[in-house]
Amino acid sequence: MTIRFYNSLTHQEETFTPQEPGVVRMYSCGPTVYDYAHIGNFRSFLFSDLIRRFLELTGHEVIHAMNITDVGHMTDDSQADGGGEDKMQVAAKRIKEDKKSGKVPVGSVENPDDPFQVAKFYTNAFIEDSKKLGFKIAGEYETRIMHATTHIPEMLEMISQLIENKHAYVGPDGVVYYSVESFADYGKLSGNTLDQLREGSGGRVQEEHQANKRHPADFMLWKPDSSHIMKWDSPYGAGYPGWHIECSAMARKKLEREIIDIHTGGEDLIFPHHECEIAQSCGATGKPYFARFWMHARFLMVEGEKMSKSKGNFYTVRDVLGGKVTGREVHPAVLRFELLKSHYRSNMNFTEKGLKDSANSVRRLVEFRQQQLQKSGGEVANVGNDHPIVAQFIEALSNDLNISGALAVVLPWLSQEHKDAAEALGVLAKINHVLNVAPLDTAGDLAFGDDPEEGGIESQVKTWCKEIDEARASKNWPIADELRKKIQAAGYEVRNSPEGTVAQKQLA
RNA sequence: GGUGGCGUAGCCAAGUGGCCUAAGGCGACGGAUUGCAAAUCCGUUAUUUCGUCGGUUCAAAUCCGACCGCCACCUCCA
């Protein structure tokens, strides 16, 4: 089996092999923690989870690292000397307003003016959401997911290497800039070579901000600013790091290599972020590559439109799970499946209907597992990757993560006859290592009808189910139908089973 | 204006030169089942058609060119 991935760096599909056989070092650009991450962010993070789980299924150890950007970068980093407002201060303002209107639980951020508290709050929310969606890396917080603010020394080390290697200079304004002209490969990833950047700038580059730089595309590595809300000592004066340096520095530190195997992120990060990362890492190490493979996930659309706050179609994970889209609670496995089921290199269209479709697929997978577990008495056979179904599943994913092809193997298989339940469960376990929806490992099993609360809606639904059985026994059809409608209105599916009427919570 | 990507049925989407008279799922329709439903099972569901127009080839959804549309980046953004 050969694994082929589309490599953004070479603009073509290539055979993937890690530098060290059996071990893949992968870095993913993580979230900024000035606000809740939205489902578009999570699609991109989920995409890296998919890569990881697939590589693990095919026998690789995956060392996966991700950053959390908690340095208060400027809202207007475009000017590269750090103009505009600090994002942490913007967040502080917003949190104060949200607190007044009750949007943020009181006490969650005791002091919004403390950027570390703001970052901590949104970091926790991110980790929580990531766990719900079953991201493997969510269980590795603080070992593989790391904060930029705790890696300032690594960044300063890289900056000094860059200055030493003549890739960086201290401008007349005291700011440390990267000299893009010193790096011949600048533009290789994005196609935005220096010539083209000049052509394409369309007069938007403001001369006044360029005076201190040798080339307009030079970007900031360190900004001395003793008045900044977050600042650290450095040989260039107390201040804060540029936006791009954290990933270069942290990837090298955490993955313990100067060249890594895979680097992932959203498509918007290709330029300038990843272009600058390559320039920094290669400039500091002198190596021809930073990452061998660059993989980027496309943006998602919502109901055919761009997701934007002004259109009111802007969703966070908690929005979707809480029912903002469907009007009822959505199980995390359903959102995971929905975000996973379209190919990472096409714009996925997130829709309410799609969510409900995904709920069906997830339910089928979950019920299949339950049926087979019953049949096998809990026994799960050890199935190898050479099992025909597993092999086809892997074959599909080997082709640049062809998830549709992979699902086209799995879903029809569910409807086939399964003589050996233990074997079927073994196959499912393999498949579920990647899909992770049946069950979703970090969220536990799908909760079907076990609500500990006395007098809660679940016990009411159970009572109604019993009443339906009684009504049906006495052929009192109108009463039975009435009760069924009530249960459905409460967000439950009503079914007949050998044990009588049962209700299950709708997954979306 | 520059750069990168995408465009297959009602929807999601596979297929990258012949086995495509185009996987699979959802939906829809018909049937079995049911008190009626739901769930389940069976069947049907693009019939020179794959954004458009040309070209290469014995042969194209698949290669090449032009055009159109959509997305992203060129300013913070997954």
Which of chain A's residues 26-55 bind strand B, using a 7 Å CB cutoff?
29, 31-32, 37-38, 40-41, 43-44
Asked whether residue A196's C-beta has any atom of DNA/RNA strand B within 7 A, the reply is yes
Cis before residue A224, ω within 30 degrees of 0? Answer: no
Backbone φ and ψ for A347, nearest 5 degrees, come out as -70, 115
- A20-A24-A28 Cα angle (round to 5): 140
A192-205 pLDDT, tens digit per residue, is 888 777 654 444 44
Predicted confidence band of residue A417 (pLDDT cuts 50, 70, 90) = confident
Asked whether residue A199's C-beta has any atom of DNA/RNA strand B within 7 A, the reply is yes
Predicted confidence band of residue A110 (pLDDT cuts 50, 70, 90) = confident
Among candidate residues A437, A337, A419, A342, the one with its CA nearest the CA of residue A428: A437
* Distance from residue A481's CA to nucleotide B61's C1', rounded to whole Å: 50
Which of chain A's residues 367-426 bind strand B, using a 7 Å CB cutoff?
367, 399, 402, 404-405, 407-408, 411-412, 414-415
- Do residues A162 and A221 make contact, with C-beta atoms less than 8 angstroms apart? yes
A141-175 pLDDT, tens digit per residue, is 999 999 999 999 999 999 999 999 999 999 999 99
A256-310 pLDDT, tens digit per residue, is 999 999 999 999 999 999 999 999 999 999 999 999 999 999 999 998 888 887 7
* Distance from residue A9's CA to nucleotide B20's C1', rounded to whole Å: 33
- Do residues A497 and A504 make contact, with C-beta atoms less than 8 angstroms apart? no
Please report the pLDDT score of residue A311 as a whole number.
Answer: 79
User: Which nucleotides of chain B have an atom under 7 angstroms from any protein CB?
Assistant: 1-8, 11-15, 23-27, 34-42, 70-78
What's the order of all strands across the beta sheet hosting A260-266? A145-147, A61-68, A23-28, A260-266, A291-297
Report in angstroms the alpha-carbon separations of A363 from A303, A333, A440, A446: 23, 10, 12, 9
A137-157: burial string, b at 16+ Cβ within 10 Å, e else: bbeebeebbbbbbebbebbbe
* Residue A377 neighbours by CB distance under 10 Å: 8
pLDDT > 70 fraction of chain A, expressed in percent and rounded:
91
Closest nt by CA–C1' to A402: B14
Q: Is the ipTM of this complex over 0.90?
A: yes
d(CA A432, CA A413): 14
Helix (H) or strand (E) holding A169: strand A168-170
Backbone φ and ψ for A484, nearest 5 degrees, come out as -60, -45
- A214 by Cβ neighbours in 10 Å (0-12 / 13-18 / 19+) ranks as middle
Which of chain A's residues 240-259 bind strand B, using a 7 Å CB cutoff?
243
In the block, residue with structure tokens 């003589």: A419
Query: Which token pair is A76?
Result: 């207007």
A354-393 pLDDT, tens digit per residue, is 999 999 999 999 889 988 998 999 999 999 999 999 999 9
C-alpha dihedral (A100, A101, A105, A106), degrees to nearest 10? 20
User: Range with the lowest mean pLDDT among A12-21, A67-76, A244-253, A424-433?
Assistant: A67-76
Asked whether residue A205's C-beta has any atom of DNA/RNA strand B within 7 A, the reply is yes
d(CA A104, CA A91): 12
In the block, residue with structure tokens 């890396």: A137
Report in angstroms the alpha-carbon separations of A308 from A63, A313, A335, A340, A366: 34, 6, 19, 21, 34
Asked whether residue A269's C-beta has any atom of DNA/RNA strand B within 7 A, the reply is yes
A265-277: burial string, b at 16+ Cβ within 10 Å, e else: bbeebbebbbbbb
Asked whether residue A472's C-beta has any atom of DNA/RNA strand B within 7 A, the reply is yes
Asked whether residue A228's C-beta has any atom of DNA/RNA strand B within 7 A, the reply is no
